[in-house]
């Protein structure tokens, strides 16, 4: 199957695109876009891979679903388009960065500038119905993104995985922790942020790890 995705990812995921589950997933998603309002826009479904090519990926942040409100989701987990009010979880991420690194909270919630530094902002499920969180779960996306994580773990060295909340931590179970840094904390949502996300210092820890292995720090 010809999937429009960054060339490095296309090469390493070629076998996955030929599997029966992925063919069924594509059929389901196309039908959904034809009959309902689905986020993100179809051209942005694989945007996280576009902005963070396989060869340049050095940090992975895992989300769950795309945002399910108008104008928010654009293919990068936790990120929203310029001009869209900051969602609560993203505001809390920014607060932790301020506490951790002393950086001021940006006006924009667009995390494209992270993605272009090799941060794969990957949702477990890459599409969702308008106003219906979780509506595209269990259709095949999770199997696909599990494979993305396992391929990164198997084929790369010294990656940083940021797993926030129990869902992301379960999804990261296949990561080889002898080869990569896995940072875990509660989810940054208002319901759980005070249970340990604030004060986790993941952003400084990631930069220290990258520097230790001869890699450039991230400009958070």
pLDDT digits (tens, 9 = 90+) for 50-78: 999 999 999 999 999 999 999 999 999 99
Average pLDDT, the chain: 97
- Is 52 within 8 Å of 120 (Cβ atoms)? yes
Residue 65 appears among annotated catalytic residues: yes
Among residues 2, 65, 176, 219, the one annotated as catalytic is 65
In Å, what is the CA distance from 160 to each residue of 38, 104, 164, 187, 189? 31, 23, 13, 17, 21
Q: Write phi, then psi, for 139 (nearest 5 degrees).
A: -105, -5
Closest by alpha carbon to 51, among 125, 107, 113?
113
The pLDDT value recorded for residue 1 is 77
Instruction: Give pTM, 2 decimals.
Output: 0.96
Q: What is the pLDDT of residues 134-192, one digit of tens each?
A: 999 999 999 999 999 999 999 999 999 999 999 999 999 999 999 999 999 999 999 99
Pairing of strands 38-39, 128-129: antiparallel
The pLDDT value recorded for residue 37 is 97
Structure tokens at 127: 């599409």
Q: What is the pLDDT of residues 81-113, one digit of tens each?
A: 999 999 999 999 999 999 999 999 999 999 999
Closest by alpha carbon to 206, among 177, 174, 182, 173?
182
Helices (H), the chain: 7-12, 14-17, 20-35, 47-51, 88-101, 112-115, 141-155, 166-171, 202-212
The pLDDT value recorded for residue 2 is 79
């Amino acid at each position: 199957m010809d999937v429009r995705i960054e060339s490095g990812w296309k090469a390493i995921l070629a076998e996955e695109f030929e599997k029966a589950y992925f063919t069924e997933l594509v059929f389901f998603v196309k039908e959904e876009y034809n009959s309902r309002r689905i986020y993100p826009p179809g051209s942005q479904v694989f945007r996280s891979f576009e902005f963070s090519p396989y060869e340049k990926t050095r940090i992975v942040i895992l989300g769950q679903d795309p945002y399910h409100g108008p104008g928010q989701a654009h293919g990068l987990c936790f990120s929203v388009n310029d001009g869209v009010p900051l969602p609560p979880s993203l505001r809390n991420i920014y607060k932790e960065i301020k506490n951790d690194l002393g950086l001021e909270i940006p006006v924009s919630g667009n995390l494209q500038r992270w993605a272009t530094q090799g941060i794969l902002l990957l949702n477990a499920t890459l599409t969702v119905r308008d106003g219906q969180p979780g509506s595209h779960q269990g259709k095949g996306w999770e199997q696909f993104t599990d494979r993305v994580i396992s391929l990164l773990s198997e084929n790369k060295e010294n990656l940083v995985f940021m797993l926030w909340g129990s869902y992301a931590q379960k999804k990261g179970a296949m990561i080889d922790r002898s080869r990569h840094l896995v940072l875990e904390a509660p989810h940054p949502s208002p319901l759980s942020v005070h249970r340990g996300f604030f004060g986790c210092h993941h952003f400084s820890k990631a930069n220290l790890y990258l520097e230790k292995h001869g890699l450039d720090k991230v400009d958070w």
